[in-house]
Every structure is written in structure tokens, then in C-alpha cells.
């Protein structure tokens, strides 16, 4: 069996991990959030790249529970870092351009003060007398470290898992410090299920007879079994069921012969035993208790209102990333963060990356082309450096009935009042929004389902939130935008009424364009030839494979609006082949319609 069974980005360890670690003893006393204080706190950290003269290229990377300051290798001879795929020269977090700082966490055991450090008051290790620390305390230590380094503002903070908790805390507590935040695979607080796994892990440590109330440092060994058990549980939760099936199912009864005293009947057992035993060699059980409790106590609230309040002070730009296969920090929780940010009018992009890799996805190369490039584009936008290569416009929208020119975009652009805030549903790679940007609109945002198009939008320096229109606009509160655009998408959604309702909930005015199936050429297809009207005939879709599943005419949509008490402000009918507006019998002569609608008759903003 290949040795890669035992490789996990989270676990690549280094022969001499401390080679590039710097450390500093902070001045003064650290008052802790939950009471108590620490003095003489040491912070271990590593840096990469150079702080520029303007001091505006600093990026803070926050590690997860078992990580440390060694985020990446410093040179070819160096030991691997835990995030080499993301941080380094030419990588998404490009150390040729950015000054990257990665400190070890307060309470940890890799150089920063933690329970294994000597308590100056007793001359002995703190052990269980180490106070309960919070994510806020960890962030305060990081802030003091940055001040020590002469940094007063960060370009960005990036963190996954509990690293994401730190990033969220930075953004909400120190809004002046940070221009952009990338929380990855994280949450406003743990689910009760995830909390439960942590509780079991801590119980395994606390009830290990070798725990000795936490003062095991002078004993032959500590609560090694308990810590290994906690780590085994952790490993299961970091992977997905699919990933474990792929890794272990084929050789289920052929375990590795690893030199550990755990059950080795199954291949997955030898893996867990190995991971558990290895963790004990490099991690301190008291630190594990301290860090996991800090993570479990992190809580920005659970209701939409609490979360909106929690993010009220944040002023940075956001890129929120989750992974579809992550069940420890499930995507819904990232979605909650996005909703709270949107409620505060924040500039936020969000993508839920399709992945089978579980929580570990953010440490693995499998989905790097998506999330890594999103990170790169976001940092580019923050640093106002034009991207090396802006992607060309996307290929023709597959549901379009048009060849090249988007006559509808011309008209929609004219219809939107100057300065209006705009949400474009199904924004693609952001062509319409990019046009509006030139008109200096105050708030522009897109909604898109496709990961690649989201990345393209990010490369256009746009904010775009991933959502499936058929599931509504749950991330958005009511009346958040002046105009909401649904351009040639209505005919491809299943629940038309729900989508229109969502539009008119989130936007004061809706602009809807759709192909008119009563266009004379389409009528003829059915009436004379007895064939289904080909909604996208020029693209050669057939009745059985077209993405268009709703067939409406201008007259039908008029009826719909009347019936649903939707006010129609404008109707524009186009013959896009001729490139002209149609005034005479539009339901017969137009192949495309644009409606400006709202829930009620209203004065402002006056559309068109």
C-alpha cells in the first residue's frame, strides 16, 4: 500500500520545525476575557516575503487547532508547511508580493505561551492552572505581535476552521485594522454535533488516569491514550464519508503494520492509530483542551438578528468560502455569515466549493483551482493590482437566444437610474455589472451558481454570492437593492413565482428580461409545422435538452403580473435579430421582452 495513506496536509511534520520560528515576549499584562491575566506572553511566529514601504501588503494567516506558525516552507531546503499549496512565491497568497505573518496560537504548544509554559508565579508549568482563553484573547495577542512588528493595518486576514473564528473576531473587533477577510470552512459558532465531538475528546483526555489533573509534565507520560482518542475522533470529522470510502474501502482488511498499541484489524484502524500516536508526539494534551474549549466557546450568535448585530462594526471586504462536503463546519453556517454581512451592507463574495474532501478540503489540492484562485483574485482586488490576465468574457450564455450583441444589456443599463444599487441574478462572469461599474453605481453585486463564473466575476473585481435561484435568495434581507435584474433566466427556473417574489422582496424594482414565445417565428413552428417552439433555436437546443423549461409570452407575463398584484412600470419589446424596439403588436413581433416591475406602485427610484 502506498505511504500516502498516511499523508494529510494537516499532518505533514518537519524534522526541524523551529528553524525559521521567531519569537517575542510581549510587554505588559494580558487581561483575559473570561477573567485572569497572563504576563510575559511569548509569541512564536514566522514571516514570509517583505513588508513594503507603504506597509500595506501584510497578510495574517491564522492556523487551525493542530497547526502552527510554519504555514509554508521558507526555501527549497525547508520542511513542508501546512499550507504550502496556498502560501509561497507565485502561490495564491504570493509571498513575492505580500508580507505574510503566521503566529502560533495563545494556549498552543509550538512556541507561544500555553499550558506547558512555565508559570512565572510558581516556576512550574501551568498545566490546568492555565486560564481559559478565548478566540478574542488569541486575537489580542496577534494584534500586539503586529504592533511589535510595526504593522498597524493588514491587507487581509485568512483563516480556515478555528483560524476562521480568529479572522471573524479580527474583523468585528478591530475593523480599522483590516481591509479584507477570508474566512474559510468556518462558522459563527460550532454546531452542537461538532461541539459534541469536542466534548468526547476532552472527556477522553480528562478521564485518562495519566492526566493527573493536568500536572503530568514531570511524569513518565501524560494522557497519551486520551489525546490519541481525541485526535482519532478529530480525524474522522475532518474527512468526509466519501473520502474515507475512497481511502479505506478497497483494502478494508489489510491494515498497515504500524507500531502502535491500538486496534489494527482494519485499514482505517491502522490509519487512526497511527494518526493518534503521532499526534501525541507533537502536541500537548493541555493545549488541546485549551484550544478546543476556546473554539467551543466562540459564539457570534445563532439567530439572524444576533449575527447581523455581531457584524455591525465590520468594515472590510469579504470572501467567504465553504466546502459542500464539510460536515464539521457545514456550508449553511458560512451562508449564515454571508447573510449577516449582507444585512450590514458589507461587500461580500461567497462560494460553496463543490468538494468531497470534507472539512480538510481547504488544506488539500483537490479544489485548489477554485478556492485558491478565488483567494488570489480577492487579494488582487484588495491590493488594487490589476490581475495579470483578466479572463475573457464568458462564452455566450447558453440560455440566450442571441448571437453576439446583448441588446438587452444596452436597454437594461439605460433603465437603471444613476447611482442605484443593483443585484444581478445569474450574473455570469459579471458582464452587465462590469458595464454598470463604469457608470459609478454605489453598490453592485451578483448572484451566480457556477463556481467558474464566480471566479471570473471576482477577477472583474465584483462581489458575487453563490446561490441557486430555485432555492430563493435566503442570504438577502428585504429591500436591500434599488434594482434587481433577472436577465434571460426566468424561462430556466422551475418555481417562477417564488423567484419573482424573492426578487421583489430583495429589490425595490425588478428588471426582468425573457424570450417571448409568442414571437411569430415560434408561433409558426407550432401552428404550421406542428413542432415545439425552439426557445433557443439559434443555439440548436431541442425540446428535450433545452435548459428552458418555462414557456411564456409577453401576454402571459402581463397576466401573471396583474394576477399577482405586481406593478408593471415599463414594457420594452425588442426584435433582437433586427436590433430594433417593437411598438406594434409586441406579443407577435418581439422575440425579447424587458419588464420593469415592483411589488407596489412607487415613486422612487423612477426606473427608466
Active-site annotation, residues = 161, 326, 359
- Residue 325 interacts with its own copies (CB under 8 A)? no
Minimum CB distance to its own copies smaller for 217 or for 327: 327
Minimum CB distance to its own copies smaller for 192 or for 404: 192
Radius of gyration, alpha carbons of the chain: 28
- Distance, in Å, from the CA atom of 84 to the CA atom of 78, rounded to the nearest integer, reads 11
- Distance, in Å, from the CA atom of 171 to the CA atom of 315, rounded to the nearest integer, reads 7
* Among candidate residues 104, 117, 96, the one with its CA nearest the CA of residue 46: 104
The DSSP result for 37-66, as a single string, is EEES-EEEEEEES---TTS--EEEEE--TT
Sole residue written with cell 484502524:
269
**Of the ranges 45-53, 255-263, 378-386, 469-477, which one interacts with its own copies (CB under 8 A)?**
255-263
- Residue 545 interacts with its own copies (CB under 8 A)? yes
Q: Which of 25, 29, 555, 580 binds its own copies (CB under 8 A)?
A: 555
**Of the ranges 57-65, 121-129, 231-239, 469-477, which one interacts with its own copies (CB under 8 A)?**
231-239
Minimum CB distance to its own copies smaller for 364 or for 498: 498
Sole residue written with cell 444596452:
410
Taking the complex as a whole, how short is the minimal distance between the CB of residue 131 and its own copies, in angstroms?
15
- Residue 265 interacts with its own copies (CB under 8 A)? yes
Minimum CB distance to its own copies smaller for 379 or for 473: 473
* Helices and strands, number each (H, E), in the chain: 17, 22
- Distance, in Å, from the CA atom of 158 to the CA atom of 139, rounded to the nearest integer, reads 13
Q: Which of 330, 331, 446, 607 binds its own copies (CB under 8 A)?
A: 330
Do residues 33 and 134 make contact, with C-beta atoms less than 8 angstroms apart?
yes
Q: Which of 1, 385, 543, 580 binds its own copies (CB under 8 A)?
A: 543
Q: Which of 554, 566, 573, 594 binds its own copies (CB under 8 A)?
A: 554
Of all helices (H) and strands (E), which one includes residue 511?
Answer: strand 507-515
- Residue 232 interacts with its own copies (CB under 8 A)? yes
Residues 73-132 touching its own copies, rule: CB under 8 A, are none
The three cell numbers locating residue 107: 494556549
- Distance, in Å, from the CA atom of 533 to the CA atom of 536, rounded to the nearest integer, reads 9
Do residues 377 and 351 make contact, with C-beta atoms less than 8 angstroms apart?
no
Residues 270-299 touching its own copies, rule: CB under 8 A, are 272-273, 276, 293, 296, 299
- Distance, in Å, from the CA atom of 13 to the CA atom of 11, rounded to the nearest integer, reads 6
- Residue 233 interacts with its own copies (CB under 8 A)? yes
**Of the ranges 50-58, 427-435, 542-550, 591-599, which one interacts with its own copies (CB under 8 A)?**
542-550
Minimum CB distance to its own copies smaller for 153 or for 531: 531
Residues 383-402 touching its own copies, rule: CB under 8 A, are none
Residues 182-221 touching its own copies, rule: CB under 8 A, are 191-193, 195-197, 199-200, 202-204, 206-207, 209
**Of the ranges 79-87, 93-101, 317-325, 492-500, which one interacts with its own copies (CB under 8 A)?**
492-500
Residues 493-532 touching its own copies, rule: CB under 8 A, are 494-497, 517-518, 522-524, 526-527, 529-532
Q: Which of 27, 37, 176, 249 binds its own copies (CB under 8 A)?
A: 249
- Distance, in Å, from the CA atom of 106 to the CA atom of 112, rounded to the nearest integer, reads 6
Residues 565-604 touching its own copies, rule: CB under 8 A, are 587-588
Q: Which of 6, 217, 327, 541 binds its own copies (CB under 8 A)?
A: 327
- Residue 6 interacts with its own copies (CB under 8 A)? no
**Of the ranges 230-238, 307-315, 381-389, 398-406, which one interacts with its own copies (CB under 8 A)?**
230-238
Cα Dmax for the chain: 96
Burial class (CB in 10 A: 0-12, 13-18, 19+), 53: exposed
Nearest 5°: the CA angle 10, 104, 272 is: 25
Minimum CB distance to its own copies smaller for 6 or for 262: 262
- Distance, in Å, from the CA atom of 26 to the CA atom of 345, rounded to the nearest integer, reads 37
- Distance, in Å, from the CA atom of 538 to the CA atom of 518, rounded to the nearest integer, reads 16
Q: How far, CA to CA in Å, does 571 sit from each of 260, 511, 553, 607?
A: 74, 10, 13, 11
Sole residue written with cell 494567516:
61
Q: Which of 61, 71, 151, 225 binds its own copies (CB under 8 A)?
A: 225
Minimum CB distance to its own copies smaller for 87 or for 297: 297
- Residue 541 interacts with its own copies (CB under 8 A)? no
Residues 335-364 touching its own copies, rule: CB under 8 A, are none
Minimum CB distance to its own copies smaller for 200 or for 578: 200
Taking the complex as a whole, how short is the minimal distance between the CB of residue 401 and its own copies, in angstroms?
16
Minimum CB distance to its own copies smaller for 19 or for 241: 241
Taking the complex as a whole, how short is the minimal distance between the CB of residue 272 and its own copies, in angstroms?
6
* Among candidate residues 404, 394, 410, the one with its CA nearest the CA of residue 539: 404
- Residue 550 interacts with its own copies (CB under 8 A)? yes
Q: Which of 7, 263, 393, 414 binds its own copies (CB under 8 A)?
A: 263
Do residues 63 and 163 make contact, with C-beta atoms less than 8 angstroms apart?
yes
Q: How far is CA 108 from the centre of its chain?
A: 26
- Residue 475 interacts with its own copies (CB under 8 A)? no
Taking the complex as a whole, how short is the minimal distance between the CB of residue 292 and its own copies, in angstroms?
11
Side-chain half-sphere CA neighbours of 351 within 13 A: 28
Taking the complex as a whole, how short is the minimal distance between the CB of residue 545 and its own copies, in angstroms?
7
Neighbours of 211 (CB within 10 A): 23
Burial class (CB in 10 A: 0-12, 13-18, 19+), 436: buried
Burial class (CB in 10 A: 0-12, 13-18, 19+), 144: middle
The three cell numbers locating residue 503: 426578487
Q: Which of 254, 302, 354, 604 binds its own copies (CB under 8 A)?
A: 302
Which residues fall within 8 angstroms of residue 337, CB to CB, at 6 or more apart? Answer: 168, 183, 186, 187, 188, 307, 311, 320
The three cell numbers locating residue 242: 466519501
- Residue 305 interacts with its own copies (CB under 8 A)? no
Minimum CB distance to its own copies smaller for 124 or for 531: 531
Residues in contact with its own copies, counted by CB under 8 A, come to a total of 75
Amino acid at each position: 500500500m502506498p505511504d500516502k495513506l498516511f499523508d494529510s496536509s494537516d499532518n505533514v511534520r518537519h524534522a526541524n520545525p523551529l528553524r525559521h520560528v521567531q519569537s517575542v515576549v510581549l510587554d505588559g499584562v494580558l487581561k483575559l476575557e473570561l477573567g485572569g491575566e497572563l504576563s510575559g506572553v511569548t509569541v512564536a511566529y514566522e514571516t514570509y516575503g517583505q513588508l513594503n514601504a507603504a506597509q500595506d501588503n501584510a497578510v495574517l494567516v491564522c492556523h487551525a487547532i493542530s497547526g502552527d506558525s510554519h504555514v509554508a516552507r521558507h526555501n527549497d531546503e525547508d520542511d513542508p508547511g501546512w499550507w504550502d499549496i496556498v502560501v509561497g512565491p507565485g502561490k495564491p497568497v504570493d509571498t513575492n508580493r505580500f508580507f505574510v505573518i503566521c503566529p502560533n496560537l495563545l494556549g498552543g504548544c509550538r512556541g507561544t505561551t500555553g499550558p506547558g509554559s512555565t508559570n512565572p508565579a510558581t516556576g512550574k508549568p501551568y498545566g490546568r492552572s492555565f486560564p481559559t482563553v478565548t478566540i478574542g484573547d488569541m486575537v489580542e495577542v496577534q494584534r500586539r505581535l503586529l504592533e511589535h512588528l510595526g504593522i498597524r493595518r493588514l491587507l487581509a486576514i485568512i483563516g480556515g476552521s478555528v483560524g476562521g473564528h480568529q479572522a471573524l473576531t479580527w474583523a468585528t473587533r478591530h475593523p480599522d485594522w483590516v481591509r479584507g477577510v477570508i474566512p474559510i470552512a468556518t462558522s459563527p459558532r460550532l454546531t452542537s454535533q461538532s461541539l459534541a465531538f469536542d466534548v468526547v475528546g476532552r472527556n477522553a483526555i480528562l478521564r485518562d488516569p495519566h492526566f493527573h489533573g493536568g500536572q503530568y509534565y514531570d511524569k513518565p507520560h501524560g494522557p497519551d491514550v486520551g489525546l490519541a482518542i481525541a485526535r482519532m475522533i478529530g480525524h474522522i470529522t475532518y474527512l468526509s464519508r466519501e473520502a474515507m470510502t475512497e481511502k479505506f474501502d478497497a483494502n478494508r482488511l489489510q491494515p498497515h503494520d504500524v507500531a502502535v498499541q491500538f486496534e489494527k484489524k482494519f485499514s482505517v484502524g491502522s490509519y487512526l492509530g497511527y494518526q493518534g500516536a503521532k499526534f501525541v508526539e507533537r502536541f500537548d494534551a493541555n493545549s488541546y483542551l485549551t484550544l478546543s474549549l476556546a473554539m467551543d466557546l466562540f459564539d457570534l450568535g445563532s439567530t439572524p438578528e444576533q449575527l447581523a448585530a455581531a457584524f455591525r462594526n465590520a468594515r472590510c471586504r469579504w470572501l467567504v468560502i465553504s466546502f459542500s462536503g464539510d460536515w464539521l463546519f457545514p456550508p449553511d453556517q458560512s451562508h449564515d455569515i454571508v447573510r449577516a454581512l449582507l444585512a450590514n451592507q458589507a461587500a461580500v463574495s461567497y462560494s460553496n466549493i463543490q468538494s468531497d474532501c470534507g472539512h480538510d478540503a481547504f488544506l488539500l489540492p483537490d479544489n485548489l483551482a477554485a478556492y485558491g484562485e478565488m483567494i488570489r483574485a480577492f487579494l488582487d482586488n484588495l491590493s488594487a493590482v490589476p490581475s495579470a490576465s483578466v479572463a475573457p468574457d464568458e462564452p455566450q450564455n447558453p440560455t440566450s437566444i442571441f448571437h453576439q450583441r446583448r441588446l438587452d444589456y444596452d436597454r437594461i443599463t439605460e433603465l437603471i437610474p444613476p447611482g442605484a444599487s443593483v443585484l444581478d441574478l445569474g450574473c455570469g462572469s459579471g458582464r452587465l455589472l462590469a458595464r454598470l461599474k463604469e457608470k459609478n453605481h454605489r453598490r453592485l453585486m451578483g448572484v451566480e451558481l457556477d463556481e467558474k463564473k464566480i471566479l471570473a466575476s471576482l477577477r472583474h473585481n465584483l462581489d458575487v454570492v453563490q446561490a441557486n435561484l430555485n432555492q430563493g435568495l435566503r442570504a438577502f434581507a428585504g429591500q436591500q437593492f434599488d434594482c434587481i435584474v433577472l436577465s434571460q433566466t426566468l424561462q430556466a427556473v422551475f418555481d417562477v413565482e417564488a423567484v419573482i417574489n424573492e426578487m421583489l422582496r430583495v429589490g425595490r424594482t425588478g428588471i426582468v428580461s425573457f424570450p417571448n414565445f409568442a414571437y411569430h417565428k415560434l408561433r409558426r413552428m407550432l401552428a404550421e409545422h406542428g413542432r415545439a417552439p425552439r426557445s433557443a433555436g439559434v443555439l440548436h437546443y431541442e425540446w428535450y435538452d433545452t435548459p428552458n423549461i418555462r414557456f411564456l409570452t409577453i401576454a402571459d407575463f402581463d397576466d401573471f403580473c396583474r394576477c399577482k398584484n405586481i406593478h408593471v412600470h415599463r414594457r420594452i419589446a425588442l426584435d433582437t435579430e433586427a436590433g430594433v424596439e417593437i411598438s406594434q403588436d409586441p406579443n407577435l413581433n418581439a422575440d425579447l421582452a424587458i419588464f420593469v416591475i415592483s411589488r407596489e406602485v412607487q415613486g422612487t427610484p423612477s426606473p427608466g
